[in-house]
Amino acid sequence: MMALTDLDNLEIYRGRKKIWTIDTDLVITGATIYFAVYETYQAASIISDATALIAKSTASGITITDGAAGTFDLTIAEADTYGWTLYSDPTNYVYDLKYIPSGGSDTIAIGRGKFVVYHDVSRIT
């Protein structure tokens, strides 16, 4: 389990599935959680921004595992990075992670940092 703090790196190999179990120390029961990866930091909302390279939420890719304890799983599927062209190894992107509490309307930051993608040496097809 990972206690997420501001500017933590998330690392993954291109075309591989990865699940992070994240502990926020917040009550997230009934919350909506959003995750987005970008080439550079954005001023736009991660809830509706179509320029995200990867976008996940509790509707798809994020599962709250213990709302009272503040833990959830973030899943990046193989297809999320499989077709990416990487210009260096590793290639650094950025991510943002926010949530809206149950019954709330304002987004609250959980974490942000580098989303590091490494070249895969071989692919399993």
Q: What's the rounded Cα separation, in Å, for the pair 75 and 63? A: 8
85-102 per-position pLDDT tens digit: 888 889 999 999 999 999
- Assigned domain for 114 exists: yes
Q: How far is CA 58 from the centre of its chain?
A: 11
Instruction: Say if residues 3 and 109 touch (Cβ distance below 8 Å).
Output: no
CA distances from 122 to 13, 16, 70, 77, 95 (A): 11, 11, 36, 17, 26
> Structural domain tally of the chain?
1
Average pLDDT, the chain: 87
**Which residues partner with 98 through β-bridges?**
34, 109
- Assigned domain for 124 exists: no
CATH number at residue 57: 2.60.40.10
**Which residues partner with 54 through β-bridges?**
37
- Assigned domain for 53 exists: yes
**Which residues partner with 75 through β-bridges?**
19
User: What percent of the chain stands above pLDDT 70?
Assistant: 86
Quick one: pLDDT at residue 122?
A: 67
- Assigned domain for 44 exists: yes
Domain span including residue 35: 2-118
Quick one: pLDDT at residue 31?
A: 96
17-52 per-position pLDDT tens digit: 999 999 988 999 999 999 999 988 776 666 667 789
pTM comes to: 0.87
Which long-range contacts (C-beta less than 8 Å, at least 24 apart) are formed by 80-89?
A: 80/54, 81/12, 81/14, 81/15, 81/16, 81/54, 81/117, 82/14, 82/15, 84/14, 84/53, 84/117, 86/14, 86/117, 86/119, 89/118, 89/119
Which residues neighbour 103 within 8 Å (Cβ) at sequence distance 6 or greater? 30
Quick one: pLDDT at residue 37?
A: 94
- Assigned domain for 125 exists: no
- Assigned domain for 61 exists: yes
pLDDT at 7 over 60: no
